[in-house]
Structure 1
Amino acid sequence: MDQADIPALLARLASDEDAARKMAVFKLQSSINDPAFADVFISSGGLVILRRLIMTAGGNTLAYSLQSLTRLLEVDMGWDIFEGPSAGDLVERIVELIVTNPLVNILRGAMSILVALVSRSPTSSSSGLTGAPHELNGTAGSLSPRTPTAARVPGTFGSRALKPAVAVYPQFFELVIQQLQSADHALCANALMLINALIRDAVSGEGSGSGSSGGVGGPNGAPPKSPGAVPGEEWSKFIKRLQDLGLIRAVYNLLQSSALQDLAHPLLEFQSLTKVLLRKWREVRVDLERPEHRRALKGLHLASAPDRRHANGAVTTVPGTATSEDGEVSRKGSRRHNPEKWRRLGFETESPAVEFETAGFLGMMDLTDYVRKNEDGFQKLLLEQSTRPLSQRCPVARASLTVTMILYEHFQVDRSDMEESKIYMALNDASTHDKLFRPLLLQWSRLHTAGLHAFFRLWKSTGAQRNDFDKVAELVRVLIEQVVGQSSRTKDVLEVEDELQEYDAARLRELQMDLLELAFEDHWGPHLFQVRDELKHEALQFVKEQRIRCLLQGSWFIKPMPHTRQESYTKHRLYQPWRYAKLSHNRRYLHYGDFPEKLPYDPGLETLTEKIDLGTISSVVSNVSANPEAETSEAEGEQTPNSSTPTLRHNGAAITKPTTKITIYSFSDDAAGSSITPATPDTTVISTLGGGSSTETKEQPVLTLYPPTHSLASEWLDGLLMLLNQAPITAETNKLVTLVSEYGLKIRLLNVRLEQMYAGPEGRGKGVGVVPSREGLDEDYFYEI
């Protein structure tokens, strides 16, 4: 619309005919966001007519008028409409529309105007042609700035401007929060933006009707503007009022809804404001001079049932004394505190206010909220702890403060979301929503309670003591990262609470070690690989010694009964089903002997009539599988009650026929060469020694062992191979080597402090980099695996 048409437009806006006014204001809303057009419109007295329409019109005419004013304020012009003695009537009219009018298009416009009004800083002022009010001077089109006069009343902005209207319509905040459930996404977004503006103004510290003058300071911790205000009272009451009206639940549902894309900006702003509130609560120092802080601590003490005599908090009375309800003793008018009044609640000292220094009043809020909602459980927990030795008691208060800080760090409350949100919103990808939107942040209290219960559970299941507090805290930190951090945007908080309570401690410990190992690999990659190689070599030597010691100890083996009909009766009668083999102490000879029955003791070397010189062994052949799955299935089949494994009987005794065998080969002459073992169906592993021409020598079996179990077969097969300086081949031995090396690595990782992972020594001096002396130390230690 051309600026020359403005006088005619104003005439139609002031017409008595509703149709003319409706058409005129409909055209106005599409042109007024042009600063040049808006400047002429304001100078021509259009604000007065627009205000009259808002105050008196209804239906679509009112909706178009509200939309016109909204677009005018968006270009930072037209703020004069909120100046003067009648500005309060206009604000009250807009609040009335929100409370009483059911039409969506009117509600959207009214809330948009209030968003602009509350968001405007009281110190902001328009200047220049785009923002300063003008009036006609002589002919139309000749403009000059309007000079403020002494009678001009400055505008009231921020939530202070809503105070008189909200006093008339006290249900205003409740109805705004109800609009968060509206099916119209635009109306829902406007309602959330209005709430965001109110909260931002309340905590800004610049003074507002909601009591921001009583805030704890600005975003950077500046002191409150009002010198006589009590920090952290009025704005916190306003926030609590909104929460009591169901604000948190409504926004939580929006964050999990499918309408996320349409509400992305206000939801991100609300999430960011939630972090601002958490930061401000943490910045509030716990001060016993403040009544609400004293009341909170007193409530903790009374909720702990101080009249019950706990083992560590019992008060001994003497004649002339009287015990008060809170565990204090009076004697001739004097009062004496229980010496462990606060320590029995889990504080480290009897000065609890000092221990809130890190978590601030946020930590006190979480602790008091937990006690208030779980008072019976809190008392039972303290009673249970009092029956344990002091070193084994879980410090409840300290655990609560620790969980608060774990959640604080997990959600990165100190970091603003706005910069990240710009990056993610530019991507406009629904797959980034789970990274950007964190609905669980709004369930802070429930997560704190669930995390605290998980702390108690881990403390009990691990048998922790006071010195292990930091270790349990690290487990809880890993638990929060795993359960809360890996939760999707749509996952309900009830499922998260259940997972926090059911997560297995052993699995959590394994996860912690994996995360620690990954962290070390990121920072100490080459060094860690070198350590792995060293530990694997050490583990191989350890297992080699273990396997060889099995040979030194000796073992019983089974000899199968001759089953062919060609066997003579004499040979069958002389059948001896048991064979005992043992390595000599000098590890040079393998002694063995056959027995008619298994002796109750292990025979000595002098009893064993046969022996083999290990230097003559050319190869060791076995059907023991090197595949761990096959070996496991065979072992399971071996233990199955209904197994079809054949059973032999000798002299009335049942002897299970072995399924594995180990055959030791030697060359037929003294020359050493390569082994040539006949291929048999049950031969799966062939190990050779020496080198040379296969046509010059011939191998022959010198000893066959039938291990009754796979474990014994693994021990003897790999023991013989490692004794002959060859690598082990069975799955059981390789698994043992891996287990020992991994335990060694974890032991070394646990001996390194977390801060050493990120930075080396800061400098020389004060003992940095000095190797400690081993004087007075011996080698009398062991690792229990």
Structure 2
Amino acid sequence: MDTFAIPELVSRLGSDEDSVRKMAVFKLQSAIGDPSFADVFIMEGGLPMLAALALTANGNTLAYALTSFGRLLELDKGWDYVTPELIERAVQLVVTQPLVNILRSAVAVLVAIVSHPHASTRNPTQPFGFRALKPAVQIYPQFLEMLVSMLSSAEHLLCANALQLINSLVRDAVTNDTETEWPKFIKKLQDLGVIKAVYFLMQGTAIQDLAHPLLEFQSLTKVMLRKWRAVRVDPEKADHKRALRSISAASYVPTDSHGQAVASSSGRWGSKRNKDGERWRRVGFESETPGAEFDDTGFLGMMDLTDFVMKNEDLFRRLVLEQLTKPIPNRCPLARASLAVTWVLYEHFEIAKGDAEYGDGARYQALESGSRAGLERAFKPLLLHWSRLHTAGLNAFLRLWKATGATADDFDKVGELVRILVEQVVGMATRTKDIGEAEAEMAEFEYKRLRALQMELLELTYEDAWGQHLRQVRDELNHEALQFVKEQRIRCLLAGAWFPHATGHGPESGPVTKATVNRAVQSNWRFVRLSHNRRYLHFGAFEQKRTPEPGLDDLGEKIDLSIVSSVVSNVSASPPSTSSSNATLKKTSSFAAAGTTNGAPKPPATNTKITIHGFVPALASSSSPTSPAEHEAVLLQLHPPSHTLAAEWLDGLLMLLNQAPITADTNKLVNLIAGYGLKIRLLNVRFEEGGGGEAPVLPGREGLDEEFWFDIGGMEGAG
């Protein structure tokens, strides 16, 4: 708007006709955001007229006037006209005005007033911040309730403005109120349902329109948690003493004058409690002066423990009595467990960072790019349900303690499992995951899965710290595991095995020699065994299995392994499905029911084959000066009745010939042994991140239980 038209605009603001004033203030709201225009407007005397309209106008004229005034305040101008009357007018509109456009503008003005840190130059005694609103709020006590109700509005801009005002009120209270006043204000907002309302907004579809105030609320939640943690627990303070007494009292069963348990919630069994010399140890503290045990978590830890006790009083009492029946080393210290869970959540959500995560200048950097993925990662709705997460975490701690048979020395280990559980359930949760789902998952998460995740994290931790050394150790362990499995497979060959067999003169029967030309047309079984010197493979045909198994002297045929050229098979590299495996095993175990041949049981039918090829001398009839002296032929063919036996013999023969194993069973066994070897080594090495501090004192031989040394450089141990 042309600056030469401003005098005319100002004069129209003072017109007696409402339509003229409405049009003037309508034009003003779009132009007043320009600082140069605002300066000229104020010089022309427009500010008093605008303030008067904000106090007296109605309908759209009032909405435009409040919008214009709010934009002036955003430019840090017009503060001299922020009077108690104007503040009361805005608060009144929030409580009584049904029109959305007026509500939006009134809330925006109040946001600017609450966020303004300085006193008025015209009215030096006029307070700002939340204190400026308190006189008006006393007149209209429904103000906070109406403000929270706006969070459910379908009009996103009104909802955003209301949340922004709530954020301003909370920040001002936390920053400027006394230690005892701001928690009361926060508690009042919580009682009005602000947590539930913001939680639904965070999980809703309008997060892009509400992103800034929602993230500020999330950041303020961290600020409050950090501030609560900073409050030192002092048993001499009345509220702290009251909280500690409620915890102690809840651990006792109320009794009548005859010592019989009675149903009561009045807590009138203090005499018994006061006579107990271990009243604090019974609930899980380490000493009878529990105040010092809150050093890490502060008043936040006391709040969490008290909340759990008060909401689950019967459960808490039952847990305490249950622990008292156990030997002292096996008891789970409930209070310490609660504080440990509080600390796990505190670190998981990085509360120590406070609102620096979205500080001025870098605020909402993840959102400025407009990335939907950035929005999804930025929001942590589950943080708002801190108390329920703490309860779920403490229940998980108790469950894991019982499942692992933990003792007092294992406290930190169980705490580490809970940390991993929180990272998996809460850390991996999507923005729309409901708190009820998270609670159920934490309650059902299996201990074995947690241990597997713990080992993976342990490997990653050491990989980062000792990458090159760890890879070297892993290679050495893989080699050792391969040699171990090789020996195991060869020992299977040395022990021998029965294979179903149908003898003929086909290629599967091997070469025809003088020794084999007169063999029986059929036999049901073949027993194969490796010689002790591992140079020959002995085998023989039998009508039925024998007990004891045949020795080498009973096996009339043998193969010199030095002439073997290859071992091939149709055994799959991956194991068969469970159903097919079960079917094969069933056939193997019930072959006797399949009928008989000459009174002997028939062998089970199998399609699995292992074929051994080798070089044999050429037949005399085909010898000539140009014919080769030997040719490759089938030396032996085996039909393993099960996948396990096929893997043992196929890979055993290959490894005996210094070739790599190929079946999934053998490779899985190698990886399993190498993996356990690595984990055992990692679990027995203390990891100190950064490597700082003084070197530990190396123990001497005196006093050692075992002749054991460990070389941290080479990652080698020997006994």
Q: Which digits, 9 at most, give the CA deviation of each residue in 1:408-464, with x for residues without a partner?
A: 122122222215643212201222111111111111112222222222222233333
Which position in structure 2 is the counterpart of 1:372? 310
Which position in structure 2 is the counterpart of 1:63? 63
Give distance in 1, aligned partners of 2:566 and 2:582: 25
Amino acid at match of 2:317: Q
Which position in structure 2 is the counterpart of 1:731? 664
Which position in structure 2 is the counterpart of 1:675? none
711-720 vs 31-40, which deviates more? Answer: 31-40
**Change in CA separation of 1:9 and 1:694 when aligned onto 2, cut-off 3 Å:** farther
TM-superposed CA distance for 1:271, in Å, is 1.1
Equivalent pair of 2:538/2:557 in contact (CA under 8 Å): yes
SS in 2 for 1:400: helix
Which position in structure 2 is the counterpart of 1:742? 675
Q: Which digits, 9 at most, give the CA deviation of each residue in 1:137-196, with x for residues without a partner?
A: xxxxxxxxxxx7xxx653221111111111111110000111111121111111111111
356-365 vs 498-507, which deviates more? Answer: 498-507
Amino acid at match of 1:291: A
**Change in CA separation of 1:713 and 1:327 when aligned onto 2, cut-off 3 Å:** farther
TM-superposed CA distance for 1:203, in Å, is 0.8
Which position in structure 2 is the counterpart of 1:95? 91
Which position in structure 1 is the counterpart of 2:367? 425
Listed as ranges, the matches of 1:640-719 within 5 Å are 647=594, 649-650=596-597, 652=599, 654-659=601-606, 660-662=608-610, 667-668=615-616, 695-698=628-631, 705-719=638-652
Give distance in 1, aligned partners of 2:198 and 2:211: 12
Listed as ranges, the matches of 1:548-627 within 5 Å are 548-560=490-502, 577-591=524-538, 597-602=544-549, 608=554, 610=556, 612=558, 614=560, 616-619=562-565, 621=567, 623=569, 625-627=571-573
Give the TM-score of the pair, scaled to structure 2: 0.85
Q: Which digits, 9 at most, give the CA deviation of each residue in 1:92-146, with x for residues without a partner?
A: 1221111111111111111111111111113x667xxxxxxxxxxxxxxxxxxxx
SS in 1 for 2:564: strand
TM-superposed CA distance for 1:477, in Å, is 1.7
Give distance in 2, aligned partners of 1:184 and 1:286: 44
Which position in structure 2 is the counterpart of 1:120? 116
SS in 2 for 1:759: helix
Give distance in 1, aligned partners of 2:333 and 2:185: 34
Which position in structure 1 is the counterpart of 2:684? 751
TM-superposed CA distance for 1:771, in Å, is 9.7
Listed as ranges, the matches of 1:248-267 within 5 Å are 248-267=195-214
Give distance in 2, aligned partners of 1:241 and 1:518: 46
Equivalent pair of 2:367/2:375 in contact (CA under 8 Å): no
Name the Cα RMSD after superposition. 3.6
Match of 1:455 among 389, 397, 402: 397
Which position in structure 2 is the counterpart of 1:325? 269
TM-superposed CA distance for 1:748, in Å, is 2.4
Equivalent pair of 2:575/2:643 in contact (CA under 8 Å): no
607-616 vs 177-186, which deviates more? Answer: 607-616
Q: Which runs of 5+ in 1 are unaligned?
A: 127-147, 206-211, 216-232, 310-314, 316-323, 330-334, 565-570, 671-692
Listed as ranges, the matches of 1:373-452 within 5 Å are 373-415=311-353, 416-419=356-359, 421-452=363-394
Match of 2:129 among 137, 155, 158: 158
Equivalent pair of 1:303/1:379 in contact (CA under 8 Å): yes
Equivalent pair of 1:557/1:708 in contact (CA under 8 Å): yes
Give distance in 2, aligned partners of 1:54 and 1:772: 88
Q: Which runs of 5+ in 2 are unaligned?
A: 260-267, 507-517, 619-625, 710-716
The share of aligned pairs that are identical, in percent, is 55
TM-superposed CA distance for 1:243, in Å, is 0.7
Match of 1:532 among 461, 474, 482: 474
Q: Which digits, 9 at most, give the CA deviation of each residue in 1:749-769, with x for residues without a partner?
A: 33344x43x423545x5437x
Which position in structure 1 is the counterpart of 2:249? 302
Give distance in 2, aligned partners of 1:398 and 1:327: 25
Would you say 1:199 and 2:141 are equivalent positions? no
**Change in CA separation of 1:234 and 1:553 when aligned onto 2, cut-off 3 Å:** same
Give the TM-score of the pair, scaled to structure 1: 0.78
Which position in structure 1 is the counterpart of 2:161? 190
TM-superposed CA distance for 1:662, in Å, is 4.5
**Change in CA separation of 1:648 and 1:737 when aligned onto 2, cut-off 3 Å:** farther
Listed as ranges, the matches of 1:31-46 within 5 Å are 31-43=31-43, 45-46=45-46
Count residues in correspondence.
Answer: 678
TM-superposed CA distance for 1:276, in Å, is 0.5
276-285 vs 470-479, which deviates more? Answer: 470-479
Q: Which digits, 9 at most, give the CA deviation of each residue in 1:531-561, with x for residues without a partner?
A: 2221111001111121222233343444447
SS in 1 for 2:234: coil
**Change in CA separation of 1:10 and 1:708 when aligned onto 2, cut-off 3 Å:** closer
Would you say 1:357 and 2:295 are equivalent positions? yes
Which position in structure 1 is the counterpart of 2:231? 284
Give distance in 1, aligned partners of 2:285 and 2:191: 31
